Chains A and B, each alone.
Chain A
Amino acid sequence: DALLGCHRSYRSRPTHGIGKFKYLLPKEPPKKRKEKVQMKEIDAGTEYQYGDVNIQMTSHDLCLVEHFAQYVHRLCNRLSIRVNESYAMPTKTNEVLFMEERGSKMQLDAVLTTHQRVVQIRGLSSTFAPILLEIIQSNQPEGVHLLMKQHTEADFKSRLKSRPELEELLAEMS
């Protein structure tokens, strides 16, 4: 009964608003929806550091690719290389049709899905880069394609969806 009979801190009481704390926290700026474009780093010079490097892994087998991407991510963590992002590109489905012309024309269908995972790295020194490449290459599983390239705007934009209505409106305006 003692639990049920608690006095709620009502507005007239002096204990009103006793549990509030949000006014004590620093103010956060309101969240923006737009993504900002990437920054580039020094490429050549005495220090010889690469800017953003993308390691792209493609395969038909989902589990393999994901596990390999996780492995690469953990490897970079252990070698204290900064990983910017690690994301997946949308899967592509391919329908394979066989046309067999022995007697009756048969069409056998097969559905193949291609998955792609990307790990983005920053701050790779050029003395270390070939060693990293060798480690990753020698631990590559079967059926996984590896591609290491520098990050470009085109890569960044390929992740975003195009908005046809917005483009139409912009075209009408200008």
Chain B
Amino acid sequence: SAAAPRPWKLFGAMCLLRLPRITQPLEKVEEEMAALMEQIELEKSLYSDHEIRKLEEEEQLQRKKESLYDEDEAHGRTVILARDLEEKWEQKFLQFKAAPRITDADKKNDRTSLDRKLDSNLMLLVKQKIGNQELWLLPQVEWQPGETLRGTAERAMATFLGDHIEAKVLGNAPYGIYKYKFPRAIRTENNVGAKVFFFKAFLQSSDLSQAKLKADYLWVTKKELGDYLKSEYLKKVNRFLLD
């Protein structure tokens, strides 16, 4: 018999992740352990070349102050003392300023910017209209026959963010699936419900200055997903998200 049209509509959705840039702050146990290990290593370690040189030169200076022998020895030594080198290095270090770790926490939770939480994964959420409601979802687009599901997901990404995004899609296999049935009013024989397949991608470049088609987008961490997604959807999505 001919292929019966399936009652489920298929959607491909893309979960675009921005990887963390900085390591997460250590917990209390980890910090104490690290401090202890450092102290042990320091006590067990031997002097390096630079430190030996420094000690020798300090002894020489002391001898110079007490007696005046050292004119013969001073010719053999180098002009620059180890102490001066250290001072130079200290000055250079003070000139160096590290970039701030908490950049846009200052901006009062501006969830549309990518610089927000540099130590955790950020995901893209888009407001989409499904049926009658406007919902916050991972960007999804309906599957067209003849297209791979991964292609659908990439198309979904392209419709919301423009064509040239450097995102690396991880593999051809979907990560999760969410299926729901339409409310009875719309249900027909051919259209019982919909299945959404999730794919993951990593955002390579951090600059998304291209035009965005829909203005309602958010970059959200895993914990904040609960504020926006519905509970059933959230459960399925949480299954494939690492933290």
Contacts and interface: CB of A to CB of B under 8 A. Distances in A.
Contact of B23 (A126, A127, A133, A142): A142
Interface residues of A, number: 12
B81 interface: no
Contacts of A141: 23
B20 interface: yes
A130 B170 contact: yes
A134 interface: yes
A138 interface: yes
B95 to A, nearest CB: 13
A96 B20 CA distance: 30
A127 B171 CA distance: 7
A138 B121 contact: yes
B242 A126 contact: no
A127 B199 CA distance: 12
Nearest to B169: A130
Interface string B3-41: 000000000000000011011000000000000000000
Interface in B114-133: 121
Contacts of B200: 130, 134
Contact of B171 (A108, A130, A138): A130
A160 B242 CA distance: 40
Interface string B161-172: 000000000111
Contact of A142 (B19, B22, B121): B22
A138 B242 contact: yes
A138 B19 contact: yes
B19 A137 contact: yes
B158 to A, nearest CB: 20
Interface in A115-153: 126-127, 129-130, 133-135, 137-138, 141-142
A2 B171 CA distance: 76
Given A134-B202, A138-B121, 5 more contacts: A126-B172, A126-B173, A127-B173, A130-B173, A138-B242
Interface of B: 19-20, 22-23, 88, 121, 170-173, 200, 202, 242
Interface of A: 108, 126-127, 129-130, 133-135, 137-138, 141-142
8 contacts: A108-B88, A127-B173, A130-B170, A133-B170, A134-B200, A137-B19, A138-B19, A138-B242
